Amino acid sequence: MARNKHPEETVSLILDVAGRLFLEKGYEYTSIQDIIDNLGGLSKGAIYHHFRSKEDIFIAVTDRMTEESNRMLAVIRDTPDLNGKEKLRAIFRESIFRSVQEDMFSTAPNLGNNPRLLYSIFSETMMVAAPDYIQPIIEQGIADGSIQTEYPKELAELIIMAANIWMNPMIFGDSAEGAFRKFMLFRQMMKGFGLDIVDDEMAQRLQELASIYLKKR
């Protein structure tokens, strides 16, 4: 068999097709064969040359979807016009209202039943989001006086773990009401740190996303 001279194009095609099918049918109801049947002649071997499993494909699809999010986080982190607390508020608002969130919530599997996918989110949260985006903002907030804490690393981990893991309906399968209750407790906790960074509009949006996710179950 001739060597694939354009592996990047093959990977991009696989992710395009898989992403569309995950969106249309949901992760659980999309098979590897479904993806193959929509690749326009590419073989099963072409998929397994690049990906070991459907889970790997889904991780790659979501990684591509979150690239835009990471760019947004970097822009907010690096903007000179906001103090630390304002940047945290901006990150929460931009993250929860991104249109791509609807695609992610409508396609995602039950992450609690998929350990590798769950670990991928945990790893991204603790090894990228917390140290690269949230902690630098908290440290800036300490410097400019808008945030008071002696534990910037730990506070960054607490905030992002609560947001990305504990409040994530894709992991715990929370109802809209359950998602709202968690959000309100998180809001109360943040106010205890002097961080009024979330609001009622964000709570309503989280309820909407939880409902979108549950409709796919």
Least confident range of 41-50, 62-71, 129-138, 203-212 = 62-71
Does the pLDDT of residue 1 top 50, yes or no? no
Does the pLDDT of residue 143 top 60, yes or no? yes
Instruction: Identify the CATH class of 59-215.
Output: mainly alpha
Least confident range of 9-23, 56-70, 107-121, 128-142 = 107-121
pLDDT tens digit string along 189-198?
999 999 999 9
CA–CA dist 121, 110 (Å, integer) = 13
For 99, the 3-state DSSP assignment is coil
Does the pLDDT of residue 26 top 90, yes or no? no
| CATH superfamily of the 1-51 domain | Homeodomain-like (1.10.10.60)
Helices (H) and strands (E) in the chain, counts: 12, 0
In percent, the amount of the chain with pLDDT more than 70 equals 96
Of 215 and 128, more confident: 128
Does the pLDDT of residue 3 top 60, yes or no? no
Domain ranges in the chain? 1-51, 59-215
pLDDT of residue 5: 53
Instruction: Give me the chain's average pLDDT, please.
Output: 89
CA distances from 204 to 80, 94, 106, 186, 193 (A): 30, 14, 17, 14, 23
pLDDT of residue 214: 86
Does the pLDDT of residue 112 top 80, yes or no? no
pLDDT of residue 4: 52
Measure the CA dihedral 102/103/106/107, to 10°. -160
pLDDT of residue 92: 94
Cβ atoms 129, 164 nearer than 8 A? yes
Cβ atoms 138, 155 nearer than 8 A? yes
Same fold for the domain at 1-51 and the one at 59-215? no
Does the pLDDT of residue 158 top 50, yes or no? yes
Cβ atoms 196, 190 nearer than 8 A? yes
pLDDT of residue 216: 67
**Locus of tokens 């809001």:** 187
pLDDT of residue 194: 95
Residue 76: closest CA among 87, 67, 89:
87
